[in-house]
Amino acid sequence: MLEEFKENDIKILDVFHCPHGPNSLCKCRKPKSGMFLDAKIKHKINMKDSWMIGDKEDDIIAANNAGIYNTILVKSGHEINEATSNAKYILESIHHSVNTILV
């Protein structure tokens, strides 16, 4: 994934991931917001001006819990209930996110 971003001249500042299983009580497993909060502290990120793109509702919930409300839920094959989603935008593809963010 990082190599594909690099080939498209997209610079990634950092990568955060949760190595724990779904039943873990860790603070980083989404929908908990630990990874977002760690990134906020490490890179002094203004969450209100940030964007998060995810493919599951748990991604959106984690972002919202960290203070990120500019969220995009991408239809990628996971079940999405558009009527109850907390996402600000629901898009067919990540490719559509550019136009949404830059508007």
Torsion of CA 77, 88, 49, 74, to 10 degrees: 10
49: nearest Cα among 72, 67, 37 = 67
| CATH number of the domain bearing residue 35 | 3.40.50.1000
Residue pair 33/66 in contact by the 8 Å Cβ criterion: yes
Q: What is the average pLDDT across 29-56?
A: 96
Domain span including residue 60: 2-102
Say how far apart CA 91 and CA 87 lie, in whole Å.
Answer: 10
pLDDT of 76 strictly over 90: no
Q: What is the count of structural domains for the chain?
A: 1
Q: Tell me, what's the pLDDT at 1? A: 78
Q: What is the average pLDDT across 72-99?
A: 93
| Global model pTM greater than 0.75 | yes
Q: Tell me, what's the pLDDT at 5? A: 85
86: nearest Cα among 99, 73, 76, 98 = 73
Residue type, 92: E
